[in-house]
Amino acid sequence: MLISPHPTNKFHTQKKKTKKMAANGSNAGSKSANSGGAKQSGPSAEQVVATFQRMRQEQRSMSSKAAELEMESNEHSLVIDTLKDVDPSRKCFRLVGGVLVERTVKEVLPALQTNKEQIAKIIESLNTKMQEKGRELTEYRERYNIRLVGEGEGDAQGQPAPSPKDGEGGNHKSGAGVLVS
């Protein structure tokens, strides 16, 4: 994790101001420090990076869980397709809570189909949550002007840089970027 040391970085300049005022030790300095602190009522750069990393990790864990459930659903489909062609009175074995239980195909097949449907609902729910988390991440990146390492390489190749947009929008804080690896 790297924080952009650019002199226009609001976190960098705010720290300089605070250090100068603390060095002066005057009452006027502390009053302006309070008003300057009110401008930066947001989190520190380290907190921004930590929150961003946490949000990315949550999205990754949801993605891995969805992939795991997708594999389980495929296994259910394979077993269901196999058991459809088998005599319903034939013995089959099912693992329930770590215990292998002997049943018949006609008992197991409906339970497998129900399980597969429930897994599909959970996967759909996880995908929806992942999309919401992706939107949150995008909004968070835009709010704090977070750039990932290697993301700015297109700027040198003639693609438009994001900084001109910051000046036009008015809501963005120009030069307040945080670089995340």
Could you give the CA distance from residue 60 to residue 67 in angstroms, rounded to a whole number? Answer: 11
Lowest mean pLDDT among 124-128, 146-150, 174-178: 174-178
Q: What is the mean pLDDT of residues 92-101?
A: 94
C-alpha separations of 88 from 25, 80, 102, 114 in Å:
87, 12, 14, 17
Q: Does the pTM of the predicted model rise above 0.75?
A: no
Contacts 24+ apart (CB under 8 A), 76-83: 76/112, 76/115, 76/116, 76/119, 77/116, 79/112, 80/109, 80/112, 80/113, 80/116, 83/108, 83/109, 83/112
Q: What is the pLDDT of residues 5-24, one digit of tens each?
A: 444 444 444 444 444 444 44
Q: What pLDDT does 42 receive?
A: 79
Question: What sections of the chain are H helices per DSSP?
Answer: 10-24, 27-39, 45-84, 105-144, 163-169
Could you give the CA distance from residue 163 to residue 160 in angstroms, rounded to a whole number? Answer: 9
What tokens appear for 99 in the block? Answer: 């215990």
Q: What is the pLDDT of residues 72-88, one digit of tens each?
A: 999 999 999 999 999 99
